[in-house]
Structure 1
């Protein structure tokens, strides 16, 4: 008889152990499902355009899963700000029950902050520091789970039940894995917020840089009777390495510049401002100097000049700005390997003579009134590459009806969505058509380029400067 009783007791113990194991497996299964759902939500949040909204949904779901997983009768999920005060709660503040209000109180948060570990409490009435808080509550068992990230308390998940000793160590361990996922989601959202704030500030700074860079460009364009000056400028990014300039010298001649700094973005934009400023300063300085003798000026110049009339000496000195700019960049910024291709011309609007240096730039095109096309080929290398090199000065006569079109390589290199370039051949074909004005030419070119690019991302900065001689030359 005793043996039978013992056998039955053993069987009951085995059944109880089996039931406990089955219960633990069920909990483990639920915990695994919850963890998988949390991880899936984390991935969705990373791809979401509004992670803060996704986070709210994830936290709400995590709280509901936690209650379902444990069978808790009440509970609350709170998140703290940098000062340790409650910033957010689930349920929301307006929906909190009296017990949940306790779980968001400073006294409870202080208690939780002093226990950075998962704590299953059999009876809150037996714990100093909690007894007074839950004095009028029927809830007795508590599971307090801190949400930690790098040792810092981000929040607390608290679950409660009326049955004393309801929450065991198995549930506590599984819930700890859930809160790890909550911590990751919260940390990601905070990092995203910081990144978003930084990105917003960066966009503001870049927009400010864009405004400053545009202020470097002549606005309005220079106006001279009998001449048209038209330009367009489209940076591939917020700021650009391309630039153009038109300015007047004291003797009435006009400086014309189109430049393209190597590379793109902020670095190129910084050097764009430097190149533009150096050219203006050096050319302006030398245009004010009145030489005593032509031969002396030419002898001291590093610019190679062929067949230069005496009345062009001041123009030659203005173009010496290319040599001085080249030497400054090559000597002071050699380590950065920054350079620019630059076309710099000085136009005498009375005579129609354009004296120029082409420092490695795309050869500007002259469309003659007769329809023929000419190119102003480079007269030296890109500016800033090698210290103390020579640039040849050349001249060309512009007649009424002639148009000079200078542009950056972003024009022929403009890409379609299929990565097909616009090509220089297409540009030349446009110039073969009749052109009534510089404005109509630039507008036609802009329309063609926009149509070619369509929805494609900009490939390179695009800059165009067109100059047209409209009226017959005046004679003195």
Structure 2
């Protein structure tokens, strides 16, 4: 009867220690303690619950696909296979073993720890050396290691492995395994919730930053298209994400001309938006008194080339219009060829102007190829500049919207003016993709000669 009462008291003490550890861990999460503190409290608590010499926590790095040791208490016996060179060095250098254990990651399914993670099942291991998954050789650091290991889970998602161990010949009891597994289950739930909370917070912060960037970008776009004595204009930008890699702009050039720019950065999101803002700024600063589009584009290229990553580039079309309608000159830096609808014939012409994308060449090749191209425009003729988000829009069958559809819709809408062309093309693309997500930014600029 006395032995029974002592055993009962030990079990009650273990249960209390489990609750105490969970209280400490819960308080740490509630108090916003750093992850390193949380990991330390879990491992120290795990060792105390079963009165083990030490404990170790492995968590899955989902990007790398490996289990990474996040915290190991000082006296925890090693639970992974030790290379012979580490064993030999550790005999004379006390820091070798802890350093190796802190840095050595494990693949799921590798060794005993990896097996517990893959199977998502707890184990009571009387002697580590005799476990069928242990791959190490006999050494003085793992002579009689008894261990408890349990997977950390959040729902059906494996998070890692919690282990407690001692150098001893007596195995852990079934009740110790039961309490240890209960602790691991609750710690897994707590860690999973903490990760979800952290990810949600990071997502909210990113969304806030993207909204701010989107608002800044919206402010940088013209509020409305200008109207001059000789031209009627309209434009629209429809980003695929909160921020866009496309932009358009109307730039005063001297007192008698107007610059019209459209650009598409190779890429999406914030990096593309930053390059877009740089392109806009540099183009504006070089366009003020320059009537040659090719000269302006050459200056943009020379300024931006040193700052653009090798995997990025910008396609730009830039036209300079005499405000009275007497001339229109185009420069094209690798951008989608513009289209012109001719009122007299009702046909759509493709404007093939030579040019290289900004950021591909530092200057000499760009300037040799990119040339000014005058475009004769009669009253009623309409110029269409657009980014490849229009022609490359895809439907549920992965079919592209294509240039021919653009020409057809352009020709039908052009007699009704610049805004009618923008509206018609945007509506047609939206109907074409149906419920499919927009895959790329869409930008249109339309110029009609009065």
TM-score (norm 2): 0.62
- Does structure 2 conserve the Cα–Cα contact (< 8 Å) formed by 1:147 and 1:182? no
| Matching residue of 1:135 | none
Asked if the contact 1:406–1:464 (Cα under 8 Å) also holds between the matched residues in 2, the reply is yes
Aligned match of 1:402: 381
Offset, 1:432: 3.0
Deviation at 1:85, TM superposition (A): 9.7
Distance 1:217 1:445 in 2: 20
3-state SS of paired residue (1:369): coil
Distance 2:427 2:435 in 1: 14
Aligned-pair CA distance for 1:226: 4.8
Match in the other structure for 2:183: 179
CA contact (8 A) 1:410 1:460 kept: yes
What pairs up with 1:101-116 in 2 under 5 angstroms? 116=47
Residue matched to 1:227: 231
Q: 1:395 to 1:226 in 2, by over 3 A?
A: closer
- Work out whether residues 337 and 385 of structure 1, in 8 Å CA contact, stay in contact via their aligned partners in 2: no
CA RMSD of aligned residues (A): 3.5
* 1:360–1:380 Cα contact (<8 Å) kept: yes
Residue 444 in 1 paired to residue 424 in 2?
yes
Change (3 A) 1:115 1:334: closer
Within 5 A, what are the aligned runs for 1:376-455? Answer: 376-386=351-361, 387-388=363-364, 389-390=367-368, 391-433=370-412, 435-455=415-435
- The separation in 1 between residues aligned to 2:212 and 2:29, in whole angstroms, is 37
Q: CA deviation at 1:329?
A: 2.5
Q: Which structure 1 segments of 5+ residues have no match?
A: 1-19, 21-65, 88-109, 121-145, 153-167, 288-313, 471-476
Asked if 1:79 corresponds to 2:55, the answer is no
1:190 shift after superposition: 0.4
CA distance in 1, matches of 2:30, 2:332: 67
Give 3-state SS (helix, strand or coil) of 2:236's partner: strand
How far is 1:151 from its partner? 6.5
CA–CA separation in structure 2 for the residues paired with 1:115 and 1:186? 14
Partner residue of 2:446 out of 466, 469, 475: 466
- Structure-2 residue corresponding to 1:264: 268
Residues 28-79 of structure 1: per-residue CA shift (max 9 Å, x gap): xxxxxxxxxxxxxxxxxxxxxxxxxxxxxxxxxxxxxx99xxxx99x96853
Distance in 1, matches of 2:445 and 2:228, equals 15
Shift of 1:466: 0.5
Query: Can you list the C-alpha shifts for 1:97-127, whole angstroms capped at 9, x where unaligned?
Result: xxxxxxxxxxxxx9xx88952269xxxxxxx
Whether 2:197 is the aligned partner of 1:196: answer no
Give deviations 1:306-333, integer Å, cap 9, x for gaps: xxxxxxxx512x6411111112233x13
Q: Which residue of 1 aligns with 2:221?
A: 217
What secondary structure sits across from 1:275 in the alignment?
helix
* Structure 2 CA distance for partners of 1:233 and 1:335, relative to 1, 3 Å: closer
SS of equivalent residue, structure 1 residue 397: coil
Deviations 1:218-250 (A, max 9, x none): 113223245321111111222221111112223
How far did residue 456 of structure 1 move?
0.8
Aligned length: 312
1-side partners of 2:284 and 2:389: how far apart? 24
2:285 pairs with 1:354: no
Given that 1:362 and 1:377 are in contact with CA atoms closer than 8 Å, whether structure 2 keeps it comes out as no
CA distances 1:122-157 after superposition (whole Å, capped 9, x unpaired) = xxxxxxxxxxxxxxxxxxxxxxxx9989479xxxxx
TM-fit CA distance, 1:431: 2.3
d(CA) in 2 for partners of 1:251 and 1:401?
24
Q: 1:250/1:174 Cα in 2 relative to 1: closer, same or farther (>3 Å)?
A: same
Q: Which has the larger radius of gyration?
A: 1
Cα distance in structure 1, aligned partners of 2:216 and 2:49: 56
- The answer for the alignment partner of 1:456 in structure 2 is 436
Distance 1:373 1:322, change over 3 A: same
**8 A Cα contact 1:80 1:86, kept in partner:** no
Partner in structure 1 of residue 312 of structure 2: 338
- CA separation of 1:85 and 1:363: change in aligned 2, threshold 3 A: closer
Go from structure 1 to structure 2 and tell me whether the alpha carbon gap of 1:119 and 1:86 turns closer, same or farther (over 3 Å shift).
farther
CA distance in 2, matches of 1:86, 1:279: 51
Pick closer, same or farther for the CA change 1:397–1:187 going to 2, 3 Å.
same
Secondary structure of the 2:291 match is helix
Divergent runs of 4+, >6 A: 146-149
Name the structure 2 match of 1:61: none
Q: What does 1:24-423 correspond to in 2, within 5 Å?
A: 78-80=22-24, 116-118=47-49, 150=71, 169-284=173-288, 287=289, 314-316=290-292, 319-330=294-305, 332-333=306-307, 335-370=309-344, 371-386=346-361, 387-388=363-364, 389-390=367-368, 391-423=370-402
